[in-house]
Amino acid sequence: MSTDLIVVLLVLAVMLALFVSNRLRLDLVALMGLMALVLTGVLPVNDALGGFSDPVVLMIAGLFVVGAGLFRTGVADAVGRKVELLAGEGVHRLTLVIMLVTALLSAFLSSTGTVAVMLPVVLAIARRRRISPSRLLMPLAFAALLGGMLTLIGTPPNLIVSGQLEQAGLESFGFFSFTLPGLVMLTLGVGCMMLLAPRLVPERRGHEALSDTLGWRELFSQYGLNERISRLEVPVDSTLADADITSSELRSNHGLTVMAIVRQTDRGRFAHRAEPDSIIHGGDQVYVIAKEADLQATARKFGLKRLSGRVELPQPISVVDALVPPRSEFIGHSLRELRLRSGLGVTILAQKVGGQPGEPVDLDRKLQPGDALLLTASSKAMQRLSKNSRRLVLLADTDKEHDLDWRKAPMALAIMLGMMLAMTFSWVANVTAVMLAAVALVLTRCLTMDQAYRSINFESVILIAAILPMATALDNSGGLELASQALLNITGQAGPLLLLALLFVFTAGLSQIVSNTATTVLVAPIAIQAALGLDINPQAALITVAIAASSAFATPVASPVNTLVLSAGGYRFTDFARVGIPLQLVLLAATLIIVPLFFPL
């Protein structure tokens, strides 16, 4: 084993450990590994930067823009809203329709974006039909992953394996090369979920519905706040009189969150939402959320009078709940650091962590993917949040239709269709077709250039661009040959089916703890070498890798879509394994049967 290979393996081992620990962003870890290989002389600078000009990276960036065009013109939202019209009354039929519609969207759009669109719709249906959301949300997440198997652009692993074939001088995949095996996997996946989910997933209590269809008391109950809301009167001689919310430090130093201020004037009684600069006058009533000990201590300090009787939230004040999506810019920051109240006009009232019961706000706790937050905000602030699901995914309709340009929907669909035709019939290179579609969406004002840039998930783009040269480093140092030879030695005389099985198990297992994109980049070159060594069709090996990479069912951290539904469905970590592992075994068996039929060995 050469010195260069030892360095590469050490760097990869450290990267995998950091990926699993989730202490640093994935793109940062990938860049650190890339720089380590450059500084040790293992990888020349030109090779290290090669990933940033790779067509796959540009295609993925362009597809984020294409997806944003369909989201912002209301195409995806309209499809989501047709679900209930088609679903009928039965739970099984409802599950079936949700999975099929989600898979259809996910075949052409980001799986995370698809789930973000469908999540409020599905929760609203669950509420109206009095169905536990856990019955529907895991099928929703798994359908998004299965839908990605249907087309070349459905998921980054598909694009990566096709690019690896092209880079090796072999025939790459076409736009619909994945469709027939993907349909088989989708059919099996839907069938398994119809049979397994009702038996293996217990009914959990998650977010039972959209916030705007729940009363505030029901939401407060879900977050454990019913006993924490109180009404206080501020005497004229109180030291709190004539102070603003921020300078009073009621939240930061005393543990009281002021939701609303009610003031009696000559023209009547008026209530308004408490803003950071709101002035509290003598005689005002303030609605606060606090622990009993904090409430009593603060009332004594400022001479406040606690009003008795049932507390009713003033009419203009509304609350909604939201989820922190994977790769949100809020992840890793505390609420104190984010200063959402002063910066965005959003007040966080309570939080849920990892599907656990609700708890009061901890201003110093770092936010994590899947955290659920109960918040109140002005209508304008709600609209700003709803426009940027990269920060928070609101589980409520906040005048979303007002933000969608429905008139541009036919244009966006036409551009999408043109892109698909260009890729199917190879009129131009795939990357050219995607970039042309992205430019056309901007030129036709389906979205602005700023919106296009904001839609790109740069973490994913940088991750792929920085990981791709790792395969080059493995190849140059002899690692690919060593790994492929090891696979050949294991398979021996057993033949190609054992190779496909090993590739599936290794890829699926690694993708449960590491990004399926990073897994595919590392495994695909090994699969090509091993396939050539056994003299079998490399396409068969690589489509096996792609299917396995998309089989991220067994843990809530295996895929962003799993993390997104974790809290909303009230799931436990083991719920995913109970359903996901049997589903993976079914797909493994199907892969060994179906892949040789469509891609003869």
Burial class (CB in 10 A: 0-12, 13-18, 19+), 107: buried
* Low-confidence spans in the chain with pLDDT less than 70: 1, 22, 77, 80-81, 84, 87-89, 201-215, 268, 315-316, 342-343, 354-358, 379, 383-390, 396-405, 492-494
CA angle 232, 252, 394 (to 5 degrees): 85
CATH of the domain at 390: 3.30.70.1450
Residues linked to residue 322 through DSSP beta bridges, in sequence order: 373, 394
- Look at residues 372, 396, 420 and tell me which one is the last residue of a structural domain: 396
Contact 302, 240 (CB under 8 A): yes
Q: Are residues 165 and 238 in the same domain?
A: no
Q: How many domains does the chain fold into?
A: 2
pLDDT of residue 400: 47
Can you count the helices (H) and strands (E) in the chain? 28, 12
Co-location of 61 and 177 in the same domain: yes
Torsion of CA 85, 87, 89, 90, to 10 degrees: 180
For 449, counting Cβ atoms within 10 Å of its Cβ (0-12 exposed, 13-18 middle, 19+ buried), the class is exposed
H-assigned helices in 201-255: 216-222, 245-248
- 14 and 118 fall within a common domain: yes
CA 571 to chain centre: 16
366 and 431 both lie in a single domain: no
Task: State the residue for tokens 């939202």.
Answer: 77
Give residue 82's pLDDT.
73
224 and 173, same structural domain?
Answer: no
Please state, in angstroms and rounded to a whole number, the distance separating the CA atoms of residues 74 and 78: 6
Sign of CA dihedral 479, 480, 483, 486: negative
Q: What does the CA dihedral 381, 560, 334, 212 come to, rounded to 10 degrees?
A: 30
Q: Say if residue 219 is in the same domain as residue 334.
A: yes
Instruction: Tell me the pairing of strands 229-233 and 268-273.
Output: unpaired
Instruction: Tell me if 306 is assigned to some domain.
Output: yes
Pairing of the two strands 320-323 and 346-352? unpaired
For residue range 562-582, list pLDDT tens digits in order. 877 877 777 877 888 888 899
Residue range(s) defining the domain that contains residue 377: 211-396
Instruction: Tell me the helix, strand and coil percentages in the chain, rounded to 5.
Output: 60, 10, 30
Say what the pTM is: 0.73
Report if residue 128 sits inside a domain: yes
Give the pLDDT of residue 370: 78
Q: Is residue 353 part of a domain?
A: yes
Q: Is residue 45 part of a domain?
A: no
- In angstroms, the CA 545 to CA 23 distance is 27
Examine the domain organization and report whether 361 and 342 are in the same domain. Answer: yes
Rounded Cα–Cα distance for residues 289 and 250 (Å): 11
Give the distance, in angstroms, between the CA of residue 411 and the centroid of all CA atoms in the same chain: 27
In a domain, 528, yes or no: yes
DSSP letters of 367-406?
A: P-TT-EEEEEE-HHHHHHHHH-TTT-EESS-SSHHHH--G
Say yes or no: 512 and 563 in one domain: yes
244 forms beta bridges with 279
| CB neighbourhood size of 280 (10 A) | 24
Query: Residues 376, 432: one domain?
Result: no
Closest among 71, 93, 182, 183 to 139, alpha carbons compared: 93
pLDDT score recorded for residue 122: 82
**Considering 370, 396, 422, which residue would you say is the last residue of a domain?**
396
pLDDT digits (tens, 9 = 90+) for 394-429: 775 444 444 566 788 889 889 988 988 888 888 888
Based on the domain organization, do 432 and 571 belong to the same domain?
A: yes
In a 13 Å sphere around the CA of 41, the CA atoms on its Cβ side amount to 2
Burial of 158-177, coded b for 16+ CB within 10 Å and e otherwise, reads bbbbbbbbbbbeeebbbbeb
pLDDT at 493: 62
On whether residue 218 sits in a domain, the answer given is: yes
Same domain, 116 and 231: no
Please indicate, yes or no, whether residues 478 and 565 belong to a single structural domain of this protein: yes
Q: Please, which residues have CB within 8 angstroms of residue 493's CB and are 6 or more apart in sequence?
A: none
Any domain includes 403: no
Q: Please provide the size of the chain in residues.
A: 601
pLDDT in tens, 453-480: 888 878 778 888 888 888 788 878 887 7
User: Is residue 114 included in any domain, yes or no?
Assistant: yes
Radius of gyration of the chain from its Cα atoms, rounded to whole angstroms:
26
514: tokens are: 């590491």
